Structure 1
Amino acid sequence: MHVRTEGRTWTGTGLRFSGLGHYFPRNRRFHDGEVTVGGRTYPPGAADELGVRSLHVADEDETLEFMAVQAARAALEDAGHDASDADLVVLANWTDRQWIPEIAPGVATALGAHGALAFDVCGACTGFVHGVQTAAAMLNGHPGWRRAVVVAADRFTRRARPGTRGQLVFGDAAGAVVLEKGDPDDPSGLLDSVLDCDSTEADTVAARPPEGWLRPKPELIDLAVRSSLKVADNVLTRNGLKTSDIDWLVPHPGNNAIHAGVRDGLDLPREKFLTNFADRGNTGCASIPIALSEFSRSGVLSPGDLVLSTAVGSGWYYGGLLYRL
């Protein structure tokens, strides 16, 4: 069954990303030469072939809640706001799901956002898109609310089955944005969002008890490329845009084969395809916000840039965001 969730055009709502933040765990593993991890030794060049030169691994004290709080604080500071100014805290996460309580209330408490409604969303690696679209709808529908903190955090290293090459690709991180109501006439801001689901492909990627290790099927790469291209075409077409009109594609990165398929399918110049995959790995739902934060701080991304972000995730979910920084 294919379920289509109609996207929302946010042009004219004044919604914008007023702050960006990220957190990378202290332990950074470099893939120089021979790499031994999880009881398996990989020969020199194995990591180069996969495209990940380094990634971060969270220590035991760097819990998902801890990482999320650090990223959220950085985003609030970037926006020039105190946590008490937040009306909503949305946490996207799939690697550390638990029964109750949800993790977001603990994040809100640690931040000092005591008046905020706080809850979790999932959507696997589309979690950031899911969180932003949910927050946008709630802010737009609630006349008294002005500001949401959307955090995406995953400890992806814990979902890599020992002995698989996922150990050289999956990294840990947290990223956050402050989504805020501003001037409706401001041309910058969140322009469009979409999140779709094709449940017939739900088992293409799975991570089930008791170990919770990721188990992808061989058709994952082709499905991920097709879904990413479908999202991009949908968002660009309904906004009257061509690929050449966007300044950057900042996607959720999967692996080098998916990247190449998306670039070729969009006829996108390599220099417009922007990820930190080589230095941070695949960080799950945190991938897009950490890239936005890191590249904004380094000056690669600039105010006014038109950005398209696409993401795919187990479910099978595929979605995207169009926004001007």
Structure 2
Amino acid sequence: MRVRTEARTWTGSGLRFSGFGHYYPRTVQDNTGGVTVGGRYHPAEVVADLGVRSLHVAAEDETVEYMSVRAARAALAGGGHAAQDTDLLILANWTDRQWIPEIAPAVAARLGAESALAFDVCGACTGFVHAVQTAASFLTAHPGWRRAVVVAADRFSHRARPGSRGRLVFGDAAGAVVLEKGERDRPGGLLDSVLDCDAAEADTVAARPPEGWLRPRPELIELAVRSSLRVAEALLTRNDMKSGDIDRLVPHPGNNRIHQGVRDGLDLPAEKFLTNFAQRGNTGCASIPIALSEFSAAGALRPGELVLSTAVGSGWYYGGLLYRL
């Protein structure tokens, strides 16, 4: 496994996040006590050990498109932006991919951003990192473009085998950010990003037809921890930083064992590790942007803070973002 070590990517580009938004489905699954899902009973001690007290489950009408429109609308409103001023819209999703058309153009149309270039990306649970890095590339390559809406939406509950423990961990949600290009060389904003792939580990997690249920291998946890730490080390090293310089780590949450491994590996105090895993579950590629939106609105994330976000996903992809709010 290797992580690219080129020079800093976005420092001085003028790129910054200028709006956050999220959408949670109406149905909340309460995981306190014993829980029966998919016809199988899970005792209270098993449920408690998984660490997810509640999660959201999308109804049939709460499609990826439906959730994405609402998250994107909230992000634009939060930043005081008009939808028609969007130059680019990228949707990250892996749970509901279809042949054609892609979902992003429909999201752009319903949002009122008909003139934006809109397309989908995947990357499994690294989808948000993939989409932000792609949006940053497009914005810097097009002198006249100023604003991108990046949405990440998954209906992860649909990919859990009925009756499995995944039904107690996998939740549904959509999160969105506005990535805006302003004055170059201003402090803060998006500093760096990385996305890499270890093809030899591509089948560590898989979801294949006909059912599309997630099937992880036992080595997933060790690989996820190792990959997350490699990403963090690469981003910090090439920006002349140490883990102590981070104000917050807002990662893609996998499970409590992965969280503990990453915290220990970075020697981070618990208060710097910020995730809504216990209340929302593992929401796939939506996990980072919903946390940014939710915690920014609550005041737990503040302007000027240095944030590191790491993510891993089937492929085997591993990546991260380094940015100042």
Shorter-chain TM-score tier? over 0.9
Deviation at 1:52, TM superposition (A): 0.3
SS at match of 2:98: coil
Indicate if the aligned counterparts of 2:56 and 2:172 stay in contact, CA closer than 8 A: yes
Change (3 A) 1:240 1:4: closer
Q: Deviations over 1:41-90 (max 9, x none)?
A: 11112221001000000011101100000000000001101110100000
Q: Could you tell me which amino acid in structure 2 is paired with residue 57 of structure 1?
A: V
Indicate if the aligned counterparts of 2:5 and 2:238 stay in contact, CA closer than 8 A: no
Q: Could you tell me which amino acid in structure 1 is paired with residue 84 of structure 2?
A: S
Per the alignment, residue 65 of structure 2 pairs with 65
Per the alignment, residue 244 of structure 1 pairs with 244
Q: How does 1:1-325 map to 2 (within 5 A)?
A: 9-325=9-325
Q: Deviations over 1:75-113 (max 9, x none)?
A: 000110111010000000000000000000000000010
Deviation at 1:9, TM superposition (A): 1.6
Q: Deviations over 1:233-289 (max 9, x none)?
A: 000000000000010000000000000000011111111110000000000000000
Q: Distance in 2 between matches of 1:62 and 1:191?
A: 34
Q: Distance in 2 between matches of 1:7 and 1:77?
A: 34
SS at match of 1:45: helix
Deviation at 1:2, TM superposition (A): 6.8
Deviation at 1:3, TM superposition (A): 8.5
SS at match of 2:72: helix
Indicate if the aligned counterparts of 1:7 and 1:194 stay in contact, CA closer than 8 A: no
Change (3 A) 1:7 1:116: farther
Q: Distance in 2 between matches of 1:188 and 1:241?
A: 14
Change (3 A) 1:160 1:8: farther
Change (3 A) 1:2 1:234: closer
Indicate if the aligned counterparts of 2:7 and 2:238 stay in contact, CA closer than 8 A: no
Q: Distance in 2 between matches of 1:2 and 1:199?
A: 11
Ranges in structure 2 where 5+ consecutive residues have no aligned partner: none
Q: Deviations over 1:270-325 (max 9, x none)?
A: 11110000000000000000000000000000000000000000000000000000
Q: Distance in 1 between matches of 2:179 and 2:92?
A: 14
Which deviates further from its counterpart, 91-100 or 37-46?
37-46
Q: Could you tell me which amino acid in structure 2 is paired with residue 104 of structure 1?
A: A
SS at match of 2:175: strand
Change (3 A) 1:74 1:7: farther
Q: TM-score, normalised by structure 1?
A: 0.98
Deviation at 1:129, TM superposition (A): 0.1
Q: How many residues align?
A: 325
Indicate if the aligned counterparts of 1:2 and 1:199 stay in contact, CA closer than 8 A: no
Q: Distance in 2 between matches of 1:255 and 1:230?
A: 18
Q: Could you tell me which amino acid in structure 1 is paired with residue 246 of structure 2?
A: I
Deviation at 1:183, TM superposition (A): 2.1
Deviation at 1:6, TM superposition (A): 5.4
Q: Give structure 1 regions of 4+ aligned residues with deviation exceeding 4 angstroms.
A: 1-8
Q: Distance in 1 between matches of 2:153 and 2:52?
A: 19
Q: TM-score, normalised by structure 2?
A: 0.98
Ranges in structure 1 where 5+ consecutive residues have no aligned partner: none
Deviation at 1:130, TM superposition (A): 0.1
Q: Distance in 1 between matches of 2:245 and 2:30?
A: 36
Deviation at 1:7, TM superposition (A): 7.5
